[in-house]
Chains A and B, each alone.
Chain A
Amino acid sequence: DAGVIQSPRHEVTEMGQEVTLRCKPISGHDYLFWYRQTMMRGLELLIYFNNNVPIDDSGMPEDRFSAKMPNASFSTLKIQPSEPRDSAVYFCASKRRGQGGEKLFFGSGTQLSVL
């Protein structure tokens, strides 16, 4: 299995631009998570999906952030418009409930820099 695949690995953009981060979970996994990691706040859960349905988006910072999961093999996290304070590493992770003892598999992350 290729693991959780995220793209791009690095993204540099200017304030005000739209940014789209992409994630392909492991086949057969029914949960997908988006996390944001910063030095100040550590690892924060933004949103997670179960069977493509958003379950908890209370971690999404504001309306500029949106996430979708149109099918079991793809999810996007969009920031529009982007701001410098959005600079962080964004991780996607997936798991299959009840299998592997709830082990969470992470992608390699997207390093976002908003100038």
Chain B
Amino acid sequence: AQTVTQSQPEMSVQEAETVTLSCTYDTSENNYYLFWYKQPPSRQMILVIRQEAYKQQNATENRFSVNFQKAAKSFSLKISDSQLGDTAMYFCAFVPYGGSQGNLIFGKGTKLSVKP
């Protein structure tokens, strides 16, 4: 079975500091996409960053970057220069590339609090 595990239910960080959220996944697929979604208190699900498994280069989006380790099936999210607006639930997700399956598999989420 394909699973996504986020081992940190809650984390906190001081404003302007750097924080890393962990995610591991289990799959027998070779080609897939990985995602980090953010859910602020407004509850809107917002895509933060996406990584294609066939790309060795780690994806970056402004202050957000990932450390993708395919062999270890690890996909961590690093937030630099944390801002109060980064306070949210963060979900890691996975979907195979191609084939008939279209469903994203989500982890349980990590609640991040950025403190002033």
Contacts and interface: CB of A to CB of B under 8 A. Distances in A.
B95 A102 contact: yes
A106 B104 contact: no
A112 to B, nearest CB: 13
Interface in A65-114: 89, 91, 93, 95, 97, 101-104, 106, 108-109, 111
Contacts of A45: 103
Q: Is chain A's interface secondary structure helix, strand, loop, or mixed overall?
A: strand
Residue among A33, A56, A102 facing the most chain B CB atoms (10 A cut-off): A102
B108 interface: yes
Contact of A89 (B43, B52, B102): B43
Interface string B84-107: 000000010101010010111011
B47 interface: yes
Q: Is chain B's interface secondary structure helix, strand, loop, or mixed overall?
A: loop
B11 interface: no
Contact of B109 (A42, A55, A103, A104): A42
Contacts of B45: 91, 93, 106
A5 B101 CA distance: 24
A50 B102 contact: yes
A43 interface: yes
Nearest to B102: A31
Contact of A55 (B47, B95, B102, B106): B102
30 contacts: A31-B102, A33-B103, A33-B104, A42-B106, A42-B107, A42-B109, A43-B106, A43-B109, A55-B100, A56-B103, A89-B43, A91-B45, A95-B102, A97-B102, A102-B33, A102-B95, A102-B97, A102-B102, A102-B104, A103-B47, A103-B50, A104-B35, A104-B47, A104-B93, A104-B104, A106-B44, A108-B43, A108-B44, A109-B43, A109-B44
Interface of A: 31, 33, 42-43, 45, 48, 50, 55-56, 89, 91, 93, 95, 97, 101-104, 106, 108-109, 111
Return the 8 tightest CB-CB contacts between A and B, nearest first.
A106-B45, A42-B108, A31-B102, A43-B106, A102-B33, A102-B95, A109-B43, A104-B104
